[in-house]
């Protein structure tokens, strides 16, 4: 291999970095279409502008400006100083609104790490050296979660194979592989990071009332064999659901943000009724 090829490879390796939202390192990619927008700040890329995407061409289609890709994972912010904010993945169908500008939040944003708080903001709204500060290492790695009040939960950032005690699947909502596990060695409670960050209330287009998150299926739903109002499959007592307390409308948390009947070819959460 020539000296120039070695220099090129060394430069490419230096420019690669690991991002929490994807299993492969991100690297600079060329933008062919100027109409594409950044999945962090939601601003369009200029033609020929440097941006980052998957270095392995695995089908991961998130593209980020350099400054968005390198934005700190955890921050403290002057507009929400009481809690740490951490980057999270918010699918478009969640219809979450930024607490600052009230615009819709899509893909990567900052959300509050407190279970009781629903503060969320765009990466672009968080910007500003006089407003945003990188949180200290380790902050937010140990949390209290209302679903498991007896013990603390510790954040794990490596890919692990486990059955989530929230959604009942081995696939995280969104694309993050991080998870929370109980700090008590004798306890095997384990949930996806994305499940731990689910909002306490949501609104679906096909229902007139807001839906509340509950960590156990209410007894009356089990007695009368209620089924998910999205996929029509049974509700499992120990897994979380969203439900309407006024009219007993209930959905799995993996179905809560799906508008129509899931197709098993595209929905990794769809399971048999066995």
Average pLDDT rounded to a whole number, residues 45-69: 82
Average pLDDT rounded to a whole number, residues 69-91: 83
Question: Could you tell me the pLDDT band of residue 32, with boundaries at 50, 70 and 90?
Answer: low
178 to each of 34, 112, 256, how far by Cα in Å? 32, 16, 21
Please give the share of the chain, as a percent, with pLDDT higher than 70: 77
pLDDT for res 268: 35
Of 15-19, 121-125, 214-218, give the lowest mean pLDDT range.
15-19
pLDDT for res 15: 64
The residue with greater pLDDT, 126 or 23, is 126
Which runs of consecutive H residues, i.e. helices, occur in 36-75? Answer: 66-69
pTM over 0.75? The answer is no
Question: Could you tell me the pLDDT band of residue 99, with boundaries at 50, 70 and 90?
Answer: confident
Instruction: Give the best-scoring range by mean pLDDT among 48-52, 103-107, 132-136, 208-212.
Output: 208-212
Can you give the residue ranges of every domain in the chain?
3-69, 74-134, 141-194, 198-274
Placement of tokens 């909502």 in the chain: 173
- Inform me whether the pLDDT recorded for 269 exceeds 50: no
- Inform me whether the pLDDT recorded for 10 exceeds 50: no
Arithmetic mean of pLDDT over the chain: 77
Residues in the chain: 274
What is the spatial distance between Cα 50 and Cα 44, in angstroms, rounded to a whole number?
12
- Inform me whether the pLDDT recorded for 175 exceeds 60: no
Average pLDDT rounded to a whole number, residues 4-33: 66
Give the rounded distance of the alpha carbon of 37 from its chain centre: 19
- CATH T-level assignment (fold) for domain 3-69: Wheat Germ Agglutinin (Isolectin 2); domain 1 (3.30.60)
The residue with greater pLDDT, 15 or 247, is 247
Average pLDDT rounded to a whole number, residues 215-236: 91
- Inform me whether the pLDDT recorded for 78 exceeds 70: yes
Structure tokens belonging to residue 175: 């694309």
pLDDT for res 194: 76
What is the spatial distance between Cα 133 and Cα 207, in angstroms, rounded to a whole number?
40
- Inform me whether the pLDDT recorded for 165 exceeds 90: yes
Supply the DSSP symbol for 92. G
237, 222 contact by CB (below 8 A)? yes
What is the spatial distance between Cα 158 and Cα 265, in angstroms, rounded to a whole number?
26
- Inform me whether the pLDDT recorded for 125 exceeds 80: yes
- Inform me whether the pLDDT recorded for 123 exceeds 70: yes
Average pLDDT rounded to a whole number, residues 183-203: 84
Question: Could you tell me the pLDDT band of residue 136, with boundaries at 50, 70 and 90?
Answer: low
């Amino acid at each position: 291999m020539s000296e120039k090829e070695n220099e090129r490879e060394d430069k490419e390796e230096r420019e690669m970095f690991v991002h929490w939202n994807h299993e492969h390192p991100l690297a600079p990619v060329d933008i062919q279409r100027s109409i594409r927008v950044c999945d962090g700040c939601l601003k369009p890329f200029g033609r020929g502008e440097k941006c980052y995407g998957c270095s392995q061409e695995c089908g991961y289609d998130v593209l980020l400006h350099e400054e968005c890709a390198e934005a700190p994972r955890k921050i403290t912010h002057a507009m929400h100083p009481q809690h740490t904010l951490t980057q999270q993945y918010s699918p478009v169908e969640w219809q979450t609104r930024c607490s600052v500008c009230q615009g819709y939040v899509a893909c990567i944003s900052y959300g509050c790490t407190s279970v009781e708080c629903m503060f969320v903001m765009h990466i672009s709204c968080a910007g500003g050296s006089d407003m945003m500060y990188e949180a200290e290492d380790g902050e937010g790695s140990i949390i209290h979660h209302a679903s498991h009040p007896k013990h603390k939960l510790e954040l794990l950032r490596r890919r692990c194979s486990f059955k989530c005690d929230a959604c009942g699947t081995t696939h995280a909502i969104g694309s993050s592989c991080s998870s929370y596990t109980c700090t008590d060695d004798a306890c095997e409670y384990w949930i996806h990071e994305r499940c731990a960050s689910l909002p306490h209330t949501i609104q679906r287009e096909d229902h007139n009332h807001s839906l509340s998150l509950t960590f156990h299926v209410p007894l009356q739903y089990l007695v009368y064999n209620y089924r998910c109002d999205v996929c029509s499959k049974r509700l499992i007592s120990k897994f979380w659901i969203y439900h309407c307390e006024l009219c007993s409308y209930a959905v799995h948390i993996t179905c809560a943000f799906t508008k129509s009947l899931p197709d098993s070819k595209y929905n990794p959460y769809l399971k048999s009724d066995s």
